[in-house]
């Protein structure tokens, strides 16, 4: 099958590598333009552009993939299908129609749950025990097209969003291979409509989504730490009771202990857990601002953390 691949982010890289090494033909990869990145704001190609260059695949970088000139260029390729993953632009009908088999998309959730920009984070935050990858036909509405197939996986009890992202990106390879096989056997297969009554939305994350509020239950806070790592990170301020200088802290992993503490939410207890609105939070790993990630015990030792010190929400007054 002759495939044009539309992808930009890290999530799309394993599928690109799979396509390059598959029996399918890959005449072109379409990706976002180079963007300023890093402290120097030098232009940086997308991860997909870098991988395509390494593989020797022709790449088209464009700000708007739906312009008549680009649509015509894609039509001239006479490809069978467009495959989309973490691309970052909407493909409109004139573009989709140049492919006899249409365009299919890889999405990191079990649709119709968690349509939108941050499905991995949303699944962890919601306490889901499983997630997966869905391959569906692109339509005008976001993530709403008929489903070709799904691949499920359990969410590890201590798995952070970054780890799950990488696992799901790998699962995409199996999913896209199966989807292309399916459409070779049944080119007219339309897919199964999504159940609109089961739709949930996973909106794009903001930095403030990582702000820890210790009046919330410990169970929620533990999920939040995992869901927000590595970005935007579950953040708080460590405030010593002795008047020492506060420090911003990202909590990477933590677990909930179903025992209420006598102290006010946010207070570090006698056993160095943190009191919350319900239960206590046992912290395992953290990253202080301007420092490397470390165990909670290393932070306790280095900062001489004592019972009565506090973890406070970012922006909260001392």
Domain holding 219: CATH number? 3.10.25.10
Q: Are 44 and 35 in contact (CB under 8 A)?
A: yes
Q: Which two tokens stand for residue 197?
A: 């009554």
CA gap 36, 48 in Å, rounded: 16
Nearest CA-CA partner of 70 in 94, 44, 105: 94
Position 213 pLDDT exceeds 60: yes
CA gap 308, 242 in Å, rounded: 9
Phi-psi map region of 220: left, alpha, beta (phi>0 left; psi -120 to 50 alpha): alpha
CA 52 and chain centroid, separation: 22
Q: Mean of the per-residue pLDDT values for the chain?
A: 96
Average pLDDT on 263-274 reads: 97
Average pLDDT on 95-116 reads: 98
Shared-domain flag, residues 12 and 119:
yes
- The reported pLDDT for the residue numbered 316 is 55
Shared-domain flag, residues 215 and 180:
no
Shared-domain flag, residues 121 and 253:
no
Shared-domain flag, residues 67 and 164:
yes
Give me the domain span that covers residue 265: 207-312
Distances in Å between the Cα of 186 and the Cα atoms of 84, 89, 259 are 20, 28, 56
Coil/strand/helix, residue 166 = helix
Shared-domain flag, residues 245 and 192:
no
Average pLDDT on 223-246 reads: 96
- Report the CATH number that the domain containing residue 135 is assigned in CATH: 3.40.50.170
Shared-domain flag, residues 89 and 185:
yes
Residue 317: pLDDT band (50, 70, 90) is very low
Nearest CA-CA partner of 210 in 236, 173, 185: 236
Quick check: is 76 in a domain?
yes
């Amino acid at each position: 099958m002759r495939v044009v691949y539309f992808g930009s982010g890290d999530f799309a890289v394993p599928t690109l590598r799979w396509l390059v090494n598959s029996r399918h033909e890959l005449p072109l990869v379409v990706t976002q333009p180079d963007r300023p990145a890093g402290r120097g704001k030098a232009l940086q190609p997308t991860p997909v552009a870098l991988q395509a260059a390494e593989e020797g695949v022709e790449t088209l970088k464009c700000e708007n993939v739906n312009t008549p000139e680009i649509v015509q260029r894609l039509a001239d390729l006479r490809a069978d299908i467009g495959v989309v993953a973490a691309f970052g632009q909407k493909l409109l009908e004139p573009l989709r129609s140049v492919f006899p088999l249409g365009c299919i998309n890889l999405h990191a959730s079990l649709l119709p749950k968690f349509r939108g920009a941050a499905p991995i984070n949303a699944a962890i935050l919601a306490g889901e025990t499983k997630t997966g990858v869905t391959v569906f036909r692109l339509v005008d509405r976001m993530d709403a097209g008929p489903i070709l197939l799904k691949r499920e996986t359990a969410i590890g009890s201590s798995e952070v969003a970054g780890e799950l992202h990488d696992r799901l990106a790998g699962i995409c390879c199996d999913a896209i291979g199966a989807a292309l096989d399916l459409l070779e056997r049944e080119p007219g297969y339309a897919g199964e409509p999504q159940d609109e009554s089961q739709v949930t939305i996973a909106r794009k994350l903001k930095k403030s989504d990582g702000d820890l509020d210790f009046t919330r239950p410990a169970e929620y806070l533990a999920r939040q730490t995992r869901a927000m790592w590595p970005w935007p990170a579950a953040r708080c301020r460590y405030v010593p009771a002795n008047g020492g200088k506060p420090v911003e802290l990202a909590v990477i992993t933590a677990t909930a202990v179903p025992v209420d503490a006598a102290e006010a939410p946010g207070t570090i207890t006698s056993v160095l857990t943190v009191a919350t609105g319900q239960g206590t939070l046992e912290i395992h790993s953290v990253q202080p601002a301007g420092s490397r990630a470390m165990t909670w015990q290393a932070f306790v030792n280095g900062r001489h953390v004592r019972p009565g010190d506090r973890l406070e929400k970012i922006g909260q007054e001392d």
